[in-house]
Structure 1
Amino acid sequence: MQKVGHLLKAGEYQIEPGVTPRQLVAQLVEGKSISYRFTLIEGSTFKQLRQRLAESEVLIHETDGLSDEQLMTALGLEGQHPEGRFLANTYQFQRGMTDLDLLRRAYQLQEKVLTEEWQARAEKFESKVLPYKDPYEALIMASIVEKETGLSSERPVIAGVFVRRMQIGMRLQTDPTVIYGMGDKYKGNIRRKDLRTPTPYNTYTIPGLPPTPIAMVGREAIKAALHPEGEKWLYFVAKGDGSHQFSATLKQHNKAVREYQLKRKASYRSAPE
């Protein structure tokens, strides 16, 4: 045992019943310790992410008691808004990792993915250049797309609707941004008063994109924001089964609203009135 002692790797191991000393030594030398997973959920907010980190019984907690600003400073990202900065993905780690280390990994991966997708972005959409000044604006759009649909096939089409609205100077008028701007005031329903109440995130009252992302995003949403698709769609309404009905004119959209939305007495619009 002394001859291999320096080869043994520290870690947390699962020892099966009946394992022999030789097998145990081989396991410790190989270093296959127990691996855990933590998933950053697509469409979740940074507030929700922090809550899930705090509930982890495996991670070492270094961010407890820190404000969002202090947390970003601890990551070396002073002054950056945390929303959307961490890639929605599943991360494997071993016991002993800190929540700060995990966030650092997620941030670095987000930067890598965003850079790769930005470099591979579509040159134009319907003969016009994409309406983003920089990768961060594409990330903001990706977060809106992420909140609007969970269907992979719809992401590029949803992005196409919003890119087209921006290209013609139309307001985005998307409910998830309103909800984000309401913060704790949101109680599960949006009223007409809320649509008219200005916040930095209310895209019914502000032109263009909100100032920051509104959720965590995965690679697919970023790719969709940078490769929008679809016909001449300007409107969409939820069907109630997770998918959407797309329309090119307000007349078509109003018909779709009557067919899908009013029947189920929903308040979700994601389209101008």
Structure 2
Amino acid sequence: MRTGIAPPPPSFKEANAVIETPDFAPGTVWLVGAGPGDPGLLTLHALNALKAAEIVIYDALVSPAILDLIPPGIPREYAGKRGGKPSPQQADISARLIDLAHAGKRIVRLKGGDPFVFGRGGEEAATLAAAGVRFRVIPGVTAGLAGLAYAGIPATTRDTNPALVLATGHLADDNPGGLDWRVLGASDVPIVLYMGLSTLPAIAEKLLAAGRPPGTPAAIVTNATLPTQQVLVAPLNRIAAETKAAGLKSPALIAIGSIVALRDTLAPWQITL
């Protein structure tokens, strides 16, 4: 007899049993997104890759909780790049991947967030292709979206914005491919900046000079999705000063625009960490 009670959801073991995992062939490189830090946001394909790898080459922003999922005995090599600190050269990292692939290894190149969102995954994939090395991309949850979600800031809503700009916070005025801050400042489209904490004063100044209202809400999210996550909200004309006063440190995301104002309504009721 039907009781009207829905059956319980399948257990992880039952769900996993119907998911076909790709074959990890020797001599191939998997560019794997580790997500923003919370191990619960790691995909099943990423987890299976870590279990099948013969070596893992990982970036600076991969959280310790994710690294703990690598089985004991699998070698790990650090290849993190952090602004302003001594870092491996990209050419050396790519050469290492190629050498390991030619040696017949199963290599996981583990990157924070998504490999193809400000993660140099595209560069590495192009280098591997030029060297005749087969690769697979395992997308990850990018911090620019997950960090906002955990902070109670929707990336888009029908009432606020039909578009969103994801951008790097590195200032490169002399780079022909750099951002035109005048265009971003004149627009009301919300902006999410990666790697922009050190350049925040200059970015805010450029946006204000280009026409963004001083009272535009802005937010800093540090250590996104982790138990140590912090969120600071202030108007655009004060966000840099308040961030400095609070002593916030990288890694951090910066959100600027109408979506930030929604946090006041959502965050008090949101279950996160």
Q: TM-score, normalised by structure 1?
A: 0.30
Higher helix share: 1
Give the structure with higher Rg (CA).
1
Higher strand share: 2
